């Protein structure tokens, strides 16, 4: 039963990832007064890209060819670590710190691929993506600060019941959620950190690392972006959102939450502009500070 | 007795220095004996052969002997292919250096410990200055020697203080009695020994010798120094300060944590700015020693607070990271030596695309990079995970500011890890990937240099995929903790993660048909691309330099050259760099002060024999006056 729900959950999350991205894009288009493409546009683009010719730049090595598979594998493993039914079989990895390390693994390979493409854009993208990563990783740890303090362990699985049992006040919960949303926008590469729609070299980050990719490799990278988007949103709901007793209902709830969050993100994105690259450390420091504040409010005892 | 025989045989190997193959073979055999001895010591801790009145091998010591054995075996194997111009000197000093480290690890009395410690310092000095004809090498060696002596003085004072407090020079007695010392004495011992071992480990701000001495030494020596020698400082802290002394003032535990945090963060920040591969690796040694000290701090807090879980997690984190760092750091240093032998340079700005001319070394370096960046499925991932676990347990089980402190330490570690990942994307990317930046020579690398590097990579992968046996060995090392060892949860499923990663990546690669690819020119907005358009080591880290400008204090100097240079420069000259803060604001004043004092002292010491005789007479007179 657990295995069944988990497998269905992982397959659905990966399969629906382009759809969730499509929802965000559609909401964004509507907010800009456009009709926008269909929410299924992501699938057509993927299908078209997959059947195009796959090229690799001169001077590139096997690193360039293997990097999309490696980063996609790391992200799929993150989706698999999320307890879609509310809990996972105990032999299966479900550790939040491992998720952080897997995100770092993905970033490492994206960076290597950028350096291996032997051009200016690849190096630029690799530099920007890894620099951004140095801000994201501590901020994400702080965003989960409340969680370490309350649960005392680092498993993803029993978090939500634990938090519910302690019956937090709205304030620390809200601060933790706010902090996580800041980090999520950075990790998923959305406005105000990175603009997924841009193709101008001065503004792009992740896009620069995949500039040399085409065909099947490009499709893999696009799937990876969508899967990451889904994974980081779902990760937030697992510990901040409600839990249902029935595994299938829980899975359904997650999917609804994902759709709603995607729409909300599209709305948020169209309200803001992209920050300057050199303002991003301050942005991420703010995210970390809010997370630490949430932790301090709880542990200082003032709210208990 | 057995250990004594091994030490004696090591001394004899030095005498064969002039016969290259004989000496290399015997050194390798000696290293393998270390390894066997270490495994024996870990397996059957109380074996009578390993215990003795002067030298003994307890389980904790056997762990450090294992670290030494792994590094020295691979480095000795590597030396068969490694060519340098003055091999006889290295062949003479290296066995002595190795044996002296065994002496430090197994010593049972203060006298033997200090003798071995000083022999270790002096032999390693001679190994560092092996290339003494190159500029700057002797100066680096001299700085190293001075810092070693500072460390030795602090350690000797601490050990003698402990000996007089316990009324014994024998370490066996210390293990039983030291924990009952009054807190004041314990604090003095902690301060003195902590200082001495911190200097030897390269903790910031006592690190200045490390990024100078490690890069100039031959690659196998750098590997031994970074992999094994600086770990003996960690050994000292674990053995004397944590296990023997027991609970002390909680300030000292916080101190260990803060030293660890500062060293790990600043170490990796300095490493990012380096484009000399071996200096970069040396700064990463400082970073990793900092991570080990974070683990030690967790253990110390556990001892002070009587929380066995923190003790065990801290011990596992620090000792496992000690072994892991020894493995991947010697792997990376050996690979750096191969790059130097292959191309004749270590400057990343001149290299590029080496993955085509030395594929085996490139794979070894890449795997080492993933391990040191703590990425799954390698061993660094496991030990950093355990360190995080310990720091977050401080955040979780405490109230008020302690929780924020624990989280803050964990955030520093996260920042360190991310910066390390960035630094190794840079190092592997600039040196091994892309297009060669300058035409450099390509000498063929012998197999005997590639295999040890790949061997270490396989070991680090194996420890990352199957960490549980090692974790259980470490958790049962300290006798006081053995009861709690079973309680160490490791809900990591490292094996499942590794297998799933490999399987999913392989399926994805098969689906994408990675072999069916056409090579095409690079896109650069339609312009002709050349190697100079790639990102360099300095441009890659530009944003970090700007963000952490307060630490780096960067400066740059751009000059326009040519007639009408202001508007139409023919060439540009760019020079940039960062300020060496510690050297300029901490060491230079100290150095000047030492010079001033010695200049004044020349008034007393003018070199005249008659004056000295007068001093002698006056001293005796004063002594008679007071003693009488």
Distance CA B133, CA A155 (A): 56
Q: What is the pLDDT of residue A304?
A: 45
Min Cα–Cα distance to chain B from A260, Å:
29
Q: Which residue has the tokens 């690392």?
A: A209
Q: Are residues B480 and B590 in the same domain?
A: no
Which of B410, B517, B522 comes nearest A65 by C-beta? Answer: B517
Min Cα–Cα distance to chain A from B144, Å:
32
Residue B482 has pLDDT above 80, yes or no: no
Distance CA B414, CA B395 (A): 15
Tell me if B508 and A115 make a contact (CB, 8 A cut-off).
no
Of A58, A96, A104, which to mutate for an interface test with B (greatest number of B Cβ within 10 Å)? A104
Question: pLDDT tens, B417-464?
Answer: 999 999 999 999 999 999 998 888 888 889 999 999 999 999 999 999
B473: Cβ–Cβ under 8 A, 6 or more apart, which residues? B42, B63
- What mean pLDDT value characterizes chain B? 90
The answer, for A100 touching chain B at a CB cutoff of 8 Å, is: yes
Q: What is the pLDDT of residue B247?
A: 86
For residue A275, count CB atoms less than 10 angstroms from its CB and return exposed for 0-12, middle for 13-18, buried for 19 or more. middle
Tell me if B492 and A128 make a contact (CB, 8 A cut-off).
no
Whole-angstrom CA distances from B72 to A25, A95, B30, B220, B553 are: 58, 36, 9, 8, 39
Min Cα–Cα distance to chain A from B497, Å:
7
Tell me if A155 and B418 make a contact (CB, 8 A cut-off).
no
Of B484, B499, B514, which residue is a domain's last? Answer: B499
Residue B163 has pLDDT above 90, yes or no: yes
Question: pLDDT tens, B277-322?
Answer: 999 999 999 999 999 999 999 999 999 998 888 888 999 999 999 9
Tell me if B388 and A97 make a contact (CB, 8 A cut-off).
yes
For residue A276, count CB atoms less than 10 angstroms from its CB and return exposed for 0-12, middle for 13-18, buried for 19 or more. exposed
Dihedral angle of Cα B145, B147, B148, B153, to the nearest 10 degrees? 130
The answer, for A275 touching chain B at a CB cutoff of 8 Å, is: no
- Which positions in chain A touch B356 (Cβ < 8 Å)? 61
Closest residue, chain A, to B268 (C-alpha): A134
Q: Which of A53-57, A198-202, B365-369, B617-621 has the lowest mean pLDDT?
A: A198-202
Residue B489 has pLDDT above 90, yes or no: no
Please determine, for the modelled complex, whether the ipTM score is greater than 0.85. yes
Range with top average pLDDT, A14-28, A81-95, B52-66, B235-249: A14-28
Which of A53, A66, A136 comes nearest B514 by C-beta? Answer: A66
Q: What is the 3-state secondary structure (H, E, C) of B535-582?
A: CCHHHHCHHHHHHCHHHHCCEEEEEEECCCCCCCCCEEEEEEECCCHH
B530: number of Cβ within 10 Å: 10
Closest residue, chain B, to A219 (C-alpha): B512
Whole-angstrom CA distances from B289 to B203, B260, B462, B474, B552 are: 7, 7, 22, 18, 21
Tell me if B546 and A278 make a contact (CB, 8 A cut-off).
yes
Of B422, B539, B550, which to mutate for an interface test with A (greatest number of A Cβ within 10 Å)? B422
DSSP string, A224-275: HHHHHHHHHHHHHHHHHS---SSHHHHHHHHHHHHHHHHHHHHHHHHH--PP
Q: Domain containing B611: what range?
A: 581-627
What does the pLDDT average to over B150-161?
95
Q: Are residues B494 and B618 in the same domain?
A: no
Cis status, amide bond into B616, omega within 30 of 0: no
Closest residue, chain A, to B404 (C-alpha): A296
Whole-angstrom CA distances from B260 to B290, B342, B413 are: 4, 36, 9
Angle at CA of residue A24, ends A18 and A26, nearest 5°: 100
Min Cα–Cα distance to chain B from A35, Å:
32
Residue B561 has pLDDT above 60, yes or no: yes
Closest residue, chain A, to B515 (C-alpha): A65
User: Can you name the residues that pair with B561 across neighbouring β-strands?
Assistant: B571
Distance CA B529, CA B509 (A): 29
Distance CA B101, CA B184 (A): 31
Distance CA B93, CA B126 (A): 7
CA B81 to chain centre: 24
- Contact present, A156 and A81 (Cβ < 8 Å): yes
Question: pLDDT tens, B262-286?
Answer: 999 999 999 999 989 999 999 999 9
Q: What is the pLDDT of residue A128?
A: 93
Question: pLDDT tens, A108-138?
Answer: 999 999 999 988 889 999 999 999 999 999 9
Q: Are residues B32 and B129 in the same domain?
A: yes
Which of B422, B430, B497 comes nearest A93 by C-beta? Answer: B497
How many domains does the structure of chain B reveal? 2
Q: What is the pLDDT of residue B1?
A: 66
- Which positions in chain B touch A211 (Cβ < 8 Å)? 523
- Contact present, A57 and B519 (Cβ < 8 Å): yes
Please list the ranges in chain A whose pLDDT falls under 50. Answer: 303-304
**If DSSP codes are grouped into helix, strand and coil, which group holds residue A95?**
strand
- Which positions in chain A touch B497 (Cβ < 8 Å)? 77, 93, 98, 102
Which of A73, A115, A130 comes nearest B433 by C-beta? Answer: A115
Distance CA B232, CA B223 (A): 14
If one compares B461 and B20, the residue with the highest pLDDT of the two is B461
Tell me the residues of chain A between 152 and 211 that have a Cβ less than 8 Å away from chain B: 152-155, 211
Whole-angstrom CA distances from B533 to A120, A121, A122, B611 are: 6, 9, 11, 69
What does the pLDDT average to over B221-229?
94
Structure tokens at A69: 């598979």
Q: What is the pLDDT of residue A162?
A: 62
Cis status, amide bond into B205, omega within 30 of 0: yes
Of B477, B499, B521, which residue is a domain's last? Answer: B499
Cis status, amide bond into A75, omega within 30 of 0: no
A288: Cβ–Cβ under 8 A, 6 or more apart, which residues? A138, A139, A141, A142, A143, A179, B411
Q: Are strands B518-520 and A55-57 parallel, antiparallel or unpaired?
A: parallel
Q: What is the pLDDT of residue B48?
A: 63
Q: Which of B317-326, B479-488, B516-525, B539-548 has the lowest mean pLDDT?
A: B479-488
Q: Could you tell me if residue B454 is inside a domain? A: yes
Residues of chain B with pLDDT > 90: what percent?
63
Angle at CA of residue B571, ends B567 and B574, nearest 5°: 100
- Which positions in chain A touch B348 (Cβ < 8 Å)? none
For residue A86, count CB atoms less than 10 angstroms from its CB and return exposed for 0-12, middle for 13-18, buried for 19 or more. buried
Q: Could you tell me if residue B156 is inside a domain? A: yes
- Which positions in chain B touch A150 (Cβ < 8 Å)? 396
Distance CA B22, CA B29 (A): 10
Structure tokens at B384: 């950093």
Q: What is the pLDDT of residue B559?
A: 85
Question: Which of the four pLDDT bands, split at 50, 70 and 90, describes residue B47?
Answer: low
């Amino acid at each position: 039963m657990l295995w069944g729900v988990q497998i269905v959950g992982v397959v659905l999350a990966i399969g629906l990832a382009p759809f969730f991205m499509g929802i965000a894009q559609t909401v964004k288009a509507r907010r800009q007064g456009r009709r926008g493409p269909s929410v299924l546009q992501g699938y057509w683009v993927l299908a078209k890209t997959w059947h195009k010719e796959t090229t690799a730049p001169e001077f590139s090595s096997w690193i360039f060819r293997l990097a999309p598979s490696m980063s996609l594998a790391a992200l799929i493993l993150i989706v698999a670590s999320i307890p879609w039914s509310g809990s996972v079989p105990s032999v299966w990895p479900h550790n939040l710190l491992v998720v952080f390390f897997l995100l770092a693994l993905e970033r490492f390979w994206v960076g290597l691929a950028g350096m291996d493409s032997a051009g200016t854009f690849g190096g630029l993208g690799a530099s920007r993506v890894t620099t951004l990563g140095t801000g994201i990783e501590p901020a994400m740890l702080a965003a989960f600060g409340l969680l370490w303090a309350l649960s005392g362990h680092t498993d993803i699985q029993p978090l939500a019941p634990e938090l519910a049992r302690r019956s937090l006040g709205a304030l620390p919960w809200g601060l933790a959620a706010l902090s996580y949303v800041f980090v999520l926008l950075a990790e998923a590469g959305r406005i105000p950190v990175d603009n997924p729609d841009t193709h101008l070299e001065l503004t792009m980050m992740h896009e620069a690392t995949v500039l040399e990719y085409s065909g099947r490799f490009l499709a893999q990278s696009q799937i990876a972006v969508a899967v990451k988007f889904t994974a980081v949103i779902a990760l937030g709901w697992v510990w901040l959102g409600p839990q249902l007793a029935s595994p299938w209902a829980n899975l359904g709830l997650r999917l609804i939450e994902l759709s709603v969050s995607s729409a909300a993100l599209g709305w948020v994105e169209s309200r803001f502009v992209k920050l300057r690259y050199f303002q991003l450390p301050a942005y991420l420091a703010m995210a970390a500070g809010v997370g630490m504040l949430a932790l301090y409010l709880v542990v200082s005892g003032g709210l208990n | 007795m057995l250990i004594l025989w091994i030490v004696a045989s090591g001394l004899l190997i030095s005498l064969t220095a002039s016969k290259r193959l004989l000496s290399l073979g015997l050194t390798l055999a000696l290293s393998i004996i270390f390894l066997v001895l270490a495994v024996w010591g870990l397996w059957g801790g109380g074996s009578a052969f390993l215990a003795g009145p002067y030298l003994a091998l307890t389980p904790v010591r056997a762990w450090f002997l294992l670290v030494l054995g792994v590094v020295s075996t691979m480095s000795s194997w590597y030396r068969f292919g490694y060519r340098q111009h003055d091999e006889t000197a290295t062949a003479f000093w290296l066995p002595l250096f190795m044996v002296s480290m065994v002496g430090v690890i197994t010593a049972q009395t203060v006298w033997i410990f200090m003798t071995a410690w000083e022999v270790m310092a002096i032999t390693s000095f001679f190994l560092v200055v092996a290339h003494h004809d190159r500029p700057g090498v002797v100066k680096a060696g001299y700085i190293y020697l001075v810092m070693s002596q500072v460390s030795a003085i602090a350690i000797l004072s601490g050990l003698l203080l402990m000996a007089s407090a316990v009324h014994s020079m024998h370490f066996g007695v210390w293990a039983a009695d030291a924990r009952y010392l009054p807190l004041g004495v314990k604090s003095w011992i902690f301060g003195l020994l902590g200082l001495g071992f911190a200097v030897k480990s390269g903790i910031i701000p006592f690190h200045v010798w490390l990024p100078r001495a490690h890069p100039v030494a031959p690659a196998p020596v750098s590997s031994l120094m970074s992999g094994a020698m600086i770990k003996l400082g960690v050994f000292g802290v674990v053995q004397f300060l944590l296990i023997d002394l027991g609970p002390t003032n909680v300030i000292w535990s916080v101190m260990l944590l803060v030293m660890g945090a500062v060293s790990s963060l600043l170490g990796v920040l300095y490493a990012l700015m380096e484009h000399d591969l071996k200096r970069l690796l040396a700064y990463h040694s400082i970073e990793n020693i900092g991570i080990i000290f974070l683990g030690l701090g967790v253990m110390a807090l556990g001892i002070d607070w009587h929380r066995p879980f923190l003790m065990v997690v801290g011990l596992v984190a620090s000792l496992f990271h000690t072994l892991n760092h020894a493995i991947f750091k010697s792997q990376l240093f050996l690979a750096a030596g191969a790059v130097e032998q292959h191309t004749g340079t270590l400057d990343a700005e001149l290299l590029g695309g080496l993955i085509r001319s030395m594929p085996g070394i490139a794979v070894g370096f890449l795997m080492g990079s993933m391990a040191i960046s703590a990425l799954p499925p390698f061993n660094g991932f496991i030990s950093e995970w355990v360190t995080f676990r310990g720091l977050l347990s401080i955040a979780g089980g405490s109230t008020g500011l302690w929780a924020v402190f624990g989280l803050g330490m964990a955030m520093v570690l996260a920042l360190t890890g991310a910066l390390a990942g960035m630094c190794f994307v840079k190092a592997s990317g600039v040196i091994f990937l892309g297009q060669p930046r300058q035409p450099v020579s390509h000498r063929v690398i012998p197999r005997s240099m590639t295999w040890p590097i790949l061997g270490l990579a396989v070991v680090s992968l194996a420890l990352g995929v199957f960490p549980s046996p090692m974790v259980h060995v470490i958790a049962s090392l300290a006798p006081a903790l053995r009861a709690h060892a079973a309680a160490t949860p490791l809900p990591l499923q490292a094996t499942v993660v590794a297998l799933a990663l490999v399987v999913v990546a392989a399926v994805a690669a098969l689906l994408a048909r990675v072999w069916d690819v056409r090579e095409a020119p690079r896109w650069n907005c339609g312009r002709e691309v050349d190697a100079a358009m790639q990102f360099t080591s300095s441009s890659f880290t530009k944003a970090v330099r700007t963000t952490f400008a307060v630490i780096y204090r960067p400066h740059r100097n751009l000059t326009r050259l040519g007639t009408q240079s202001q508007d139409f420069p023919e060439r540009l000259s760019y020079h940039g760099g960062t300020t060496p803060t510690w050297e300029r604001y901490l060491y230079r004043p100290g150095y000047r002060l030492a010079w001033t004092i010695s200049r004044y002292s020349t008034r007393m010491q003018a070199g005249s024999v008659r004056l000295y005789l007068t001093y002698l007479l006056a001293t005796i007179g004063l002594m008679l006056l007071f003693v009488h």
